[in-house]
Chain A
Amino acid sequence: MRGWKPAPHILLLMPAFIVLAAVVVVPLLLSLYSSFTPFRLTRPDTIYTFIGFRNYQRLFADREFWVAFGRTVLLLTVALNLEMVLGLFLALLVEKATRGQRLLRTIMMFPMMFSPILVGFQFKFMFNDNIGLVNNALQSLGLTDQAIPWLIDGKLAFTSILIAEIWSSTSVFAIFILAGLMAMPKEPLEAAKVDGCTPLQSFRYVTWPFIMPFAFIAMTIRSLDIARAYDIVKIMTDGGPAKRTEILWTLISRTAYSDARMGLANAMAYVAILLSILFTVMFFRQLAKARQQIGAEW
């Protein structure tokens, strides 16, 4: 190595490059490569067989995959919308509180403090058809005399998962929107009152445009969250019964580890990541537009 003296700036950047390459770039390229092989964990030598786009071809013809894909998009859409509406209401309520607002804000964040695995277990217990709290409550109130199969019926199971997801993460929206409300200058609202706005019109024309960027940040974060949703579903239904609640990542993990078809699973994962990127790009565009609209300086 004598005589080879890299410029100081390259030398100084080198550690960062090496670490980045080791933990991000190489695994990324390796997994991308493996999606072009029939790699099975049980037969390590298969990683050397290059099969081109065959995994992807199979994937695009695979009904099961597209059902899981569609279900993930559905979960994402419904959860995001409901969380947005509920979070908005929560934020507006908490913002009105003149006393104990800090306490309320902290309480509001409680669901975020639990591990999703535990949330999964908790809701699995609550929605259990025999011993669950929900059925118990419904029966005690005389609303039904049957044990509703919350986690067994496909639609009900999806709803249950949705409820668990919303419960655990609505506060993300609430916190962001509340931050927006608190950062908002109060004078335009007063101007709107003088200009003849009813409270609803003030919200529609003044408050909402202002908090929109904050809502979009929350949407971006949550869309990534839900697109990679795994833990709550894994615990509550494990994609079952009979794949009726299968979503992308439960399918991918099953393909990778239970079926040991890592190559195919990696191909799925890359498609799933494209979905995430798509949503992120979309929300960031909206965010940029909304920010520009209010002339935000951040």
Chain B
Amino acid sequence: MATVSLKNLVKKYGHLEVVHAINLDVEDREFVALVGPSGCGKSTTLRMIAGLEPISGGHIHIGDREVNKLPPRQRNISMVFQSYALYPHMTVAENMGFSLKIAGKSQDEISAAVADAARTLGLEELLERRPSQLSGGQRQRVAMGRAIVRHPDVFLFDEPLSNLDAKLRMQMRTEIKKLHAKVQSTVIYVTHDQVEAMTLADRIVIMRDGHIEQVGPPEEVFRRPASRFVAGFIGSPTMNLHNAVVGAGKLVFANGDTLPLPQQFRDRVTEGQKVIFGLRPDDVYPAGHGIHSGEAAEVHSVEVPVSLTEPLGNETLVFAEFAGQDWISRMLNPKILRMGDRIKLSFDLSQSHLFDAATEKSLRG
């Protein structure tokens, strides 16, 4: 068990800098998810922590050891790869016991540790099989088994679920969460799937173009995104984000339509400031079909035409046209709507977000 700390960590390929002096402190036993679009440097960062990628600058500490120059085998980490990276010529048991064998443990110790891990992961029946005889989910489980037998200081997961189908992914997500609760160790988990990050992590690190955009618990990055990027990245369906200009206490959109300026931002914007207005689909809803119906303090309603609906059973996503743009709204207790129907759309402005158009940073204090 250990903390992990990155100080001004830099990665360059030749002259191309792909990770720009990032800082991050991971607490002991914490589950941290690095999330971001592909090419944002999250996997590279993980591989630098693992020692598979040499670092170009800065420091990495695992526990109180600086591991900058140490090869992976001296870092006491284990890693689960996206492609599982099982040894094809070894059985499941041999795969899981390999690190212990290399460490010179006795056969009895190895067998006991493997049996223990196999029990945790429900792999007892498969120990004598080879990876080629396993399904994707089973291979994934073996890869995790290989990681846990060693009781490493830190677990590193590199997009472990992205090769699985949606159903299996959800199932394995739960298993990873249970596993973390059981083994109680520090986990750094890379994913491009914000749902995975939200559901699993104690804290989420959102990365973009080699920078860290925001670090915080899932609740916080969802409720208080620090930038337009985070707002758009976290949450599904994505937040409605539209450009507007502040004018006479109102938000004026490109086609001249307006919304009242949300109260919490009144003192934070100046007349004529270009902003990006953000509102989650949960907070814009056909009147009477919202989450906060009735109790919300700052609701503004407009009559608009429906441009598209996506019925999901218990709710319907309604795309409605306002201010020349499509707005996604979530309709609870749905009733059937058709394209072109006119509905009263409610905007719960108390839940809104406002970003500066130039810096894209949140205007919230």
Are B88 and A295 in contact (CB-based, < 8 A)?
yes
Q: Give min CB distance, A53 to chain B, whole Å.
A: 47
- A144 in contact (CB, < 8 A): no
Q: Give min CB distance, B154 to chain A, whole Å.
A: 11
Are A295 and B132 in contact (CB-based, < 8 A)?
yes
Assess A295 versus B89: contact at CB under 8 Å? Given A194-B50, A197-B102. Answer: yes
Residues of A within 8 A of B71 (CB): 193
Assess A194 versus B52: contact at CB under 8 Å? Given A295-B89, A295-B132. Answer: yes
Residue of A nearest to B74 (CB): A196
Q: Give min CB distance, A244 to chain B, whole Å.
A: 44
Assess A187 versus B83: contact at CB under 8 Å? Given A194-B78, A196-B102. Answer: yes
Are A209 and B89 in contact (CB-based, < 8 A)?
yes
B72, B88, B146, B150: the one contacting A193 at CB < 8 Å is: B72
Are B81 and A201 in contact (CB-based, < 8 A)?
no
Residues of A within 8 A of B73 (CB): 193-198
Residues of B within 8 A of A210 (CB): 88-89
Of listed A190, A191, A198, A205, residue having the most chain B CB within 10 A: A191
- B344 in contact (CB, < 8 A): no
Task: Give a binary string over A260-298; 1 marks a CB under 8 Å from any B CB, 0 the rest.
Answer: 000000000000000000000000000000000111010
Are A294 and B89 in contact (CB-based, < 8 A)?
yes
A191, A196, A295, A297: the one contacting B85 at CB < 8 Å is: A191
Q: Give min CB distance, B45 to chain A, whole Å.
A: 16
Residues of B within 8 A of A201 (CB): 102
Are B52 and A195 in contact (CB-based, < 8 A)?
no
Are A191 and B89 in contact (CB-based, < 8 A)?
no
- B130 in contact (CB, < 8 A): yes
- A226 in contact (CB, < 8 A): no
- A206 in contact (CB, < 8 A): yes
- B86 in contact (CB, < 8 A): yes
Residue of B nearest to A184 (CB): B88
Interface of chain A residues 155 through 198 with chain B (CB within 8 A): 185, 187-188, 190-198
Assess A293 versus B89: contact at CB under 8 Å? Given A190-B52, A193-B72. Answer: yes
Residues of A within 8 A of B133 (CB): 295
Task: Give a binary string over B48-89; 1 marks a CB under 8 Å from any A CB, 0 the rest.
Answer: 001110000000000000000001110001110101111111
Are B102 and A191 in contact (CB-based, < 8 A)?
no
Residue of B nearest to A293 (CB): B89
Interface residues on A, range: 20 to 34
CA distance A193 to B73 in the complex (A): 6
CA distance A191 to B150 in the complex (A): 13
Interface of chain A residues 101 through 128 with chain B (CB within 8 A): none
- B103 in contact (CB, < 8 A): yes
Q: Give min CB distance, B163 to chain A, whole Å.
A: 12
CA distance A83 to B78 in the complex (A): 38
Residues of A within 8 A of B86 (CB): 188, 191
A188, A193, A194, A297: the one contacting B87 at CB < 8 Å is: A188
- B98 in contact (CB, < 8 A): yes
Are B79 and A295 in contact (CB-based, < 8 A)?
no
* 21 A-B interface contacts by CB (under 8 A): A185-B85, A187-B83, A187-B84, A188-B88, A190-B52, A191-B79, A191-B85, A192-B87, A194-B51, A194-B52, A194-B72, A195-B73, A195-B99, A195-B102, A195-B146, A197-B102, A201-B102, A206-B87, A209-B89, A210-B88, A295-B131
Chain A residues in contact with chain B, CB under 8 A? 185, 187-188, 190-198, 201, 205-206, 209-210, 293-295, 297
Chain B residues in contact with chain A, CB under 8 A? 50-52, 71-73, 77-79, 81, 83-89, 98-99, 102-103, 130-133, 146, 150
13 further A-B pairs in the complex, CB-CB below 8 A; given A192-B98, A193-B72, A205-B87: A187-B81, A187-B84, A187-B85, A190-B81, A190-B85, A194-B78, A195-B99, A196-B103, A201-B102, A209-B89, A293-B89, A295-B133, A297-B132
Closest CB pairs A-B (n = 9): A295-B132, A187-B85, A195-B99, A191-B85, A196-B73, A209-B89, A293-B89, A193-B72, A295-B88
